[in-house]
Chain A
Amino acid sequence: MTFSKRCSFITVKGIALLTVGLFFLNVMQGSIDIPVRSILDYLLHQSTGNTTWDNILWHVRLPQALTAVLAGASLSVAGLLMQTFFRNPMAGPSVLGISAGSSMGVAFIFLAGGWTSSLEIASNLGFGGNWLLVVASSLGALAVMFVVLFVASKVRDSVTLLIVGIMISYLTTAIVSIWQYFSAPDQIKDYLLWTFGSLKGITMGQIAPMSIILFLGFGASLYLIRSLNALLLGENYAQSLGISVKKTKVLTIVCTSLLTGAVTGFCGPIGFIGIAVPHIARLMFKTENHRILLPACFWLGACILSACNLLANLPFSSTAIPINVVTSLFGAPIVIGILLKNRQIE
């Protein structure tokens, strides 16, 4: 135990360092070459001495690299919380339709609201607009969370829950389609672009509210470590260990909705990170202890989404592929693997 613990400590640190490295690569990558020294100068003194470079770094590269780190970390932690909460390996923000719930919240702002036509305008509204987006997105996530929670209390089977998640996604898509039918074309275009999911187009002004919410969610999840560990034994045992199950449930639902809602609100639905990373973390650290898994998921998620972003921007080329293509390529095989492994046990 002491040995494995020391080992995992070093590895979490290692992943954190790797994340910092990938963050730098993300900042360096782009069609315009900016020397490493200038980037370091910029990070230390907020200036490279070249206004164009300053603009590129401040408006394009830094927000994108930061978003990759924040979104990866949040979705993974949300996935871990959900897997423990539902006691189900197939739980995750995108799989159970939580992201779809967020989409509905966002669609409500984009389409049904009718008073603003694009994310650009929303961001021009400044802080208030950003908060509105996040709140709508989180509320959408929360609503779906409650539906899934209700279904999960009735069925234990992973595959059934998965199918329910897919059905909820269809339902929200249908509702959004009705809104789209009655919306103006340019509103639809903005919403459609959003549904593709992207780490781009986030401004530094949006990073602030996003990170505040994410760190609130992450901080609260750290507070849940002991309770989440006890919940691995099921609710009855958790209660007999002195854990307030009700309080834990409410906090977990709020955390998950905030983490998923904030990321999805700004970036659109990002698939597979939430479900795959916790499994990778468990396999890497060979533990179910959230004291190790929570930080591990945080850094591993940040690391993997940063790497995905690097790949999506296609090194040595000026074109980019959508981030969801990369995360799906990496995540879908893992999810299939988990399903197959579960079948073996049965």
Chain B
Amino acid sequence: MNTELAIFASDLSVGYSSRTVAQNLQLHLKKGSLTCLLGANGCGKSTILKTLSGNLRPLHGKIELLGKELKSYHSSDLARTISIVSGLPDLSRIMTVYELVALGRTPYLSWTGKLEQADRTLIEEAMRMVDVEPWKNRSVQQLSDGERQRAMIARALAQDTEIILLDEPTAHLDLFNRMSLLYLLSDLAKKKNKGILVITHELELALKLADQVWLLDSAGKLSEGSPEDLILNGALQQTFKSPGLAFDHSSGAFTFSKQPSSEISVEGSGKAFIWTKRAMKRVGCKIVPSAKIRLKIVEEKNISWIVDHEGQSHYAKTIEEVILQLSALKIL
């Protein structure tokens, strides 16, 4: 019944003998989809991942991989079914990207470690898929963190498994690399019909890219669903609930909510209008159409701003000057 599912778990409890981390989990990881596991730091995301990969014994419940019970997998079969990417290992200066990716073929090799032609083809293909082929003869240590993370993913692809689990692959990466990595994973899931589970803290990106989201709250309760459903039913807001943090539906992200200090009206249009409003929100002003304080955007050759306050007009050339004027007027 679960052949469409890469991973199915029911009534699962995970943790260590001394402490249960999460219980009563019902998990469904679909083939051909990218699932993001979200949750605050230290709530047990990695523990779930370790349990699903067979690294850690479940405390209770059952796990099925591709419709077959995890317990019944031999370690070599398991390595051909599930691959993991968790952190960048310290590697020697001499190991090349090719050698690293080739290690993904380990479950298919005899004890002599000899790579056959079929293995080489798969290694090349894996490197092409994540664009690390140009560096294949370079030392892994010469790569940037983002490139090395891609190389680790290429290694997981060379392992040729239907399920890939990744533990925070976007950590330590810059924005561009974080985005391109998650796009890449989403793409791979669809093209190769793999079930991919990613632990990440990239909430905004995850909400945009994930087909499914697993939300783990600090009490160890997990909710599953498409990202939009989890926002609409309030599960997401509930999970990340903390004082001063509010979910902004228009941007799809959490923002720090300040108590507005005063009301202001903004008049204008276009880009300048959007960013001026944003700046006003940032400094804690509430934007109201007919407030006493008025901020006008004048777009001639250059953009400038006029602050109208108690019959007086103050002129500003930049948003920074606007904010300075407002504080001088004791509005902020």
Contacts and interface: CB of A to CB of B under 8 A. Distances in A.
Contacts of B78: 242
Contacts of B89: 232-234, 237
Nearest to B123: A1
B55 interface: yes
Interface stretch (B92-100, B173-181, B250-258, B274-282): B92-100
A89 B84 CA distance: 26
Contacts of A236: 55, 84, 86
B107 interface: yes
Contact of A229 (B93, B96, B113): B113
Interface stretch (A9-17, A174-182, A288-296): A288-296
Nearest to A234: B89
Contacts of A224: 111
Contacts of B113: 225-226, 229, 289-291
A305 interface: no
Nearest to B79: A242
B103 A229 contact: yes
Contact of B83 (A230, A232, A240): A240
A278 B45 CA distance: 40
Contacts of A230: 103, 106
Contacts of A239: 55, 75
A223 interface: yes
Contacts, number: 87
A291 B55 contact: no
A224 B106 CA distance: 12
Contact of A240 (B79, B100, B110): B79
A287 B94 contact: yes
Interface string B1-38: 00000000000000000000000000000000000000
A345 B93 CA distance: 10
Given A226-B110, A242-B107, A288-B99, A282 B86 contact: no
B116 interface: no
Interface residues of A, number: 31
B94 A233 contact: no
B241 interface: no
Contacts of A290: 113
Interface string A256-289: 0000000000000000000000000011001111
Contacts of A222: 111-112
B98 A232 contact: no
Contacts of A291: 112-114
Interface in B107-155: 107, 109-114, 120, 141
A243 B95 CA distance: 20
A240 B165 CA distance: 11
B80 A242 contact: yes
A23 to B, nearest CB: 27
A87 interface: yes
A241 interface: yes
A232 B106 contact: no
Interface in B47-99: 53, 55, 75-80, 82-84, 86, 89-96, 98-99
A242 B84 contact: no
Contacts of B111: 222-227
Contacts of A287: 94, 96, 99
B159 interface: yes
A229 B55 contact: no
A240 B92 contact: no
A244 interface: yes
Interface in A184-221: none
Contacts of A229: 103, 106, 113
A296 to B, nearest CB: 13
A232 B104 CA distance: 12
A148 B35 CA distance: 42
Contact of B94 (A223, A234, A286): A286
Of the candidates A236, A288, A345, the one having the most CB atoms from chain B within 10 angstroms of its own CB is A288
A244 B94 contact: no
Contacts of A286: 94, 96
Contacts of B159: 241
Given A236-B55, A240-B83, A291-B112, A1 B98 contact: yes
Contacts of A234: 89-90
B92 A282 contact: yes
Contacts of B141: 345
Given A233-B103, A289-B99, A240 B55 contact: yes
A241 B55 contact: no
A135 B98 CA distance: 42
A131 B89 CA distance: 42
B99 A240 contact: no
A240 B106 CA distance: 10
Contacts of A240: 53, 55, 79, 82-84
Interface of A: 1, 87, 89, 222-227, 229-230, 232-234, 236-237, 239-244, 282-283, 286-291, 345
22 contacts: A87-B90, A89-B92, A224-B111, A225-B113, A226-B109, A226-B112, A226-B113, A229-B106, A232-B103, A233-B89, A236-B55, A237-B103, A241-B107, A242-B77, A243-B75, A286-B94, A287-B94, A288-B91, A288-B92, A291-B112, A291-B114, A345-B93
Given A236-B84, A240-B53, 16 more contacts: A89-B92, A224-B111, A226-B110, A226-B113, A229-B103, A233-B91, A237-B103, A240-B79, A241-B104, A242-B76, A243-B106, A286-B96, A288-B92, A289-B99, A291-B113, A345-B93
Report the 4 A-B pairs with minimum CB-CB distance, sorted nearest first.
A242-B79, A241-B106, A242-B107, A242-B76
